[in-house]
Amino acid sequence: MADTAMKATLEQKFAEVFGDLEGTKVYFAPGRVNLIGEHTDYNGGHVFPCALTIGTYAVARKRNDKTLRFYSMNFEHLGVIESSIEGLKPEKEADWTNYPKGVMWAFGEKGMKVEAGMDLLLFGNIPNGSGLSSSASVEVVTGFILRDLFGFDVTNQDLALIGQYSENNFNGVNCGIMDQFAIAMGKENNAIFLDTADLSYTYAPIKLEGAKIVISCSNKKRGLGDSKYNERRSECETALAELQTKLSIKSLGELTEEEFEANKDLIKDPVRIRRAKHAVYENQRTIKAVEALKAGDITLFGQLMNASHVSLRDDYEVTGIELDTLVEEAWKIDGVIGSRMTGAGFGGCTVSIVKDEAIDKFIDEVGKAYLAKIGYAADFYVVSIGDGPSVIA
């Protein structure tokens, strides 16, 4: 749906729910997909995400009192959820509104107190629970709205850091910086080559002549907080501490493959060796993948995507039968340049680069094989790379 049609639909719903449209503005923040570099962002490595043209739309206005009224068109059965800008804290019954509330709280923690309430209507066209970062998209759009309505002096990069801070400290998910950064700093037709150790980044044009990015959603629901995400993170932290008994490094991302192999015996547990190996090798794969892209070698880029999936499956063990089925079926199809799981894993999505002429066959054959093996259907999205957050005029 074009932005103008979307805007009209959202405004109509806002007027229906909140009475009128006076003082409202319409906003958008994208979702993101990571092309390569998975579970490296909290290990001081590189990631290579891009913003998408699907994401979170919001209609917002400032109120004259302290009341917060939230409504989501994705969870209409919950109706309007009310709270106050005073005494913000996470509450189970607050459901999805803990994400925007967390950002408001985080602004206050950073010395920018939100003094007035607001009415906020959201609609996301990111598949829920897909791993395309609907939560980070909500966080960034909320931060963008606060900056716009209250005049806070923050950059888009600040919005990413505030979103991460709120998710870590308000919502209790120990996420890295990648999702919020990719969304806040998105640029059309470019992916972001980000060094998570120091937040230095460059934009890399994605030129997929004759091919498209296809996202396959497993439709297996997962919750980040209760997945094994935090467990993997602590395994890597322990492995790093063991390596630091001899090496003066701050993160696993500082090691080359050779340095890791020469010192891996410092890690006392075979499982932790595999986890650390993934972090080191995946970081190097990401660096090589961006070089391949700059050299116009999309075939090598695809091979590195495939190798990334194998490492996530065998060394990091975060894929599961759903994602493995989607990727292994994709690999069988002529015209698939590369395919891998993306996001935290344990459900969510895969990302594939598919030649234009093979897309219909890809969706048909991968879809049939998945349904036959898993027992329920996958969804497929042919996506474009979009910009960061914006006001829809």
Q: Which positions are catalytic?
A: 179
Token pair belonging to 284: 């190097």
Closest CA to 54 of 381, 303, 392, 336: 381
Q: Could you tell me if 105 and 163 are in contact, meaning their C-beta atoms sit under 8 angstroms apart?
A: no
- Amino acid letter at 325? T
Phi, psi of 205 (to 5 degrees): -60, 135
Give the whole-angstrom CA distance, residue 128 versus residue 345: 14
The burial of 93, by beta-carbon neighbours within 10 Å (0-12 exposed, 13-18 middle, 19 or more buried), is given as exposed
Contacts of residue 352, defined as CB under 8 A and 6 or more positions apart, other chains included, come to 213, 214, 215, 216, 330, 336, 337, 338, 339, 340, 362
Alpha-carbon distance values, 316 to 23, 77, 120, 148, 311 (Å): 49, 38, 39, 41, 6
Q: DSSP 3-state assignment of 52? A: strand
Bridge partner list, 127: none
